[in-house]
Amino acid sequence: MAVKVGVVGVGWAGQQHIKAYSAREDVDLVGIAGLEAQTREQLAAEFGVAHSVARWEDLLEVDGLEAISVAVPTFLHAPIALAALERGLHVLCEKPIALNGDEAQQMVAAARSAGRVLDVAFNHRRRGDVQKLRGLIEDGRLGRPYYTKAWWLRRTGIPTLGSWFTQSSLAGGGPLVDIGVHVLDYALFLLGNPAVKSVSASTYDLLGTNGFGGSRESSKSGANGDAAFDVEDLATVFMRLEDGGTLLLEASWAMHRADGDQFGATLYGTEGGAEWYVDDYVPVGSLKLFGDKDGSATTQSFRADIGGGHPEVVADFVAAIRSGDWAGHDGRAAAQLARVVDAAYLSAAEEREISVS
Ligand SMILES: NC(=O)c1ccc[n+]([C@@H]2O[C@H](COP(=O)([O-])OP(=O)(O)OC[C@H]3O[C@@H](n4cnc5c(N)ncnc54)[C@H](O)[C@@H]3O)[C@@H](O)[C@H]2O)c1
């Protein structure tokens, strides 16, 4: 029997979930919810979705619904996920898991007590170049990585000034909680998921508050042109890891730098180094390893597949539901990232290093 699924949110993220579910034989996408009636109706027609409703509350009423994706502004993640878990539904939530670590912890507790899957969509770690680099690290090509820099930086990529993204009560923060949480996820994944012991961070809002750096696209919901902006436009976070290593993370939506949108990581290990770099969302970034042969520098470039992205996130979610094996599918790892982000914002506010519990 196909799993009966609904998707809340019909923006960019929701559409990734809708497409991924629709492509699967073992899923019946029975409903979608979203406030943009025209987009929603077009999607319902294109993908043959029986129930198309505006409010998420009405989607939860659809008969026989077993699981939902939550792809809405971040302040709605916890309320929708908690309501769905209480009704016995499985939940696949977009990143970041919630506005903060406390909300995330409530979601984890609710998933555990309901005995349901709670997954969070971290699609970037599914990229083929990230998986390739992880494999090289597992093979020992870097020896012991001890210093990592990971970043996501844009010149003018504030996701629409005045939208929910630029209001802390709706988004939980700026680029740190938006793109930085992807960076935190893929960097820790590359390193084999060491725990973060402490963080020391600074945040800046010198450009966004002056109206510089708005994305050229203006599709985000809630954009009202009044340029409300009370989040950071740059976060820099120094982390001490339990394995003795150091991770330096940068996340920015707006900076005076080369045009475009770039993310990646540089890792330094005892036997080699690695550089992975993605320019303007190319599906496969450049990946190089640096080493030493008989006292001379070596550089090796690698090719990688495109990788899984949202379809793989959805595949894992459906597989977890169908198998009934929910270990590792309770949202705990994403909640821990939320705690690191909370600690970073506190560190920036209090100008001191903060331990992560
Ligand atoms: N994994 C990724 O790479 C990725 C990329 C972009 C966004 N996201 C995440 O996905 C989420 C949504 O981001 P987006 O860019 O799609 O935002 P968006 O503003 O484009 O879309 C949000 C959607 O939520 C809907 N919505 C808002 N309130 C609602 C309500 N009460 N009932 C039903 N629907 C409601 C809106 O109508 C809209 O369809 C965010 O948490 C964001 O962080 C993830």
DSSP string, 265-326: EEEEESS-EEEEEEETT-SS-EEEEEEEETTEEEEEEE----B-HHHHHHHHHHHHHHH---
Report CA(70)–ligand 1 centroid distance (Å): 8
Per-residue model confidence (pLDDT) at position 227 = 59
**Cα separation, 315 vs 206, whole angstroms:** 41
Burial class (CB in 10 A: 0-12, 13-18, 19+), 329: buried
Report CA(34)–ligand 1 centroid distance (Å): 9
Please say if the pLDDT value at position 192 is more than 80.
yes
What values do phi and psi take at 329, rounded to 5?
A: -120, 45
Question: pTM, whole model, 2 decimals?
Answer: 0.96
pLDDT digits (tens, 9 = 90+) for 19-46: 999 999 999 999 999 999 999 999 999 9
Please say if the pLDDT value at position 226 is more than 60.
no
Report CA(319)–ligand 1 centroid distance (Å): 24
Mutate to test the pocket of ligand 1, among 221, 313, 337 (most ligand atoms within 8 A of CB): 221
Which residue spans within the chain are E strands per DSSP? 3-8, 27-33, 51-53, 67-70, 90-94, 118-121, 145-154, 196-204, 234-241, 246-252, 261-269, 273-279, 286-293, 296-302, 354-355
Report CA(259)–ligand 1 centroid distance (Å): 26
* Mean per-residue pLDDT of the chain: 95
Per-residue model confidence (pLDDT) at position 251 = 98
Please say if the pLDDT value at position 223 is more than 70.
no
Per-residue model confidence (pLDDT) at position 215 = 73
pLDDT digits (tens, 9 = 90+) for 126-174: 999 999 999 999 999 999 999 999 999 999 999 877 789 999 999 999 9
Least confident interval from 7-11, 81-85, 223-227 = 223-227
**Cα separation, 119 vs 73, whole angstroms:** 17
pLDDT digits (tens, 9 = 90+) for 300-342: 999 999 999 999 999 999 999 999 888 889 999 999 999 999 9
How many residues appear in the chain? 357
Mutate to test the pocket of ligand 1, among 16, 18, 35 (most ligand atoms within 8 A of CB): 35
Per-residue model confidence (pLDDT) at position 27 = 98
Please say if the pLDDT value at position 220 is more than 50.
no
Report CA(170)–ligand 1 centroid distance (Å): 11
Report CA(99)–ligand 1 centroid distance (Å): 14
How would residue 222 be classed by pLDDT, with cut points 50, 70 and 90? very low
pLDDT digits (tens, 9 = 90+) for 234-280: 999 999 999 999 999 999 999 999 999 999 999 999 999 999 999 99
For residues 104 and 97, the answer to whether their CB atoms sit within 8 Å is yes
> Which residue minimizes the CA distance to atom 7 of ligand 1?
13
Q: What share of the chain is helix, strand, coil (3-state, %, to 5)?
A: 35, 30, 35
Looking at ligand 1, which atom is closest to the CA of residue 57? Answer: 32
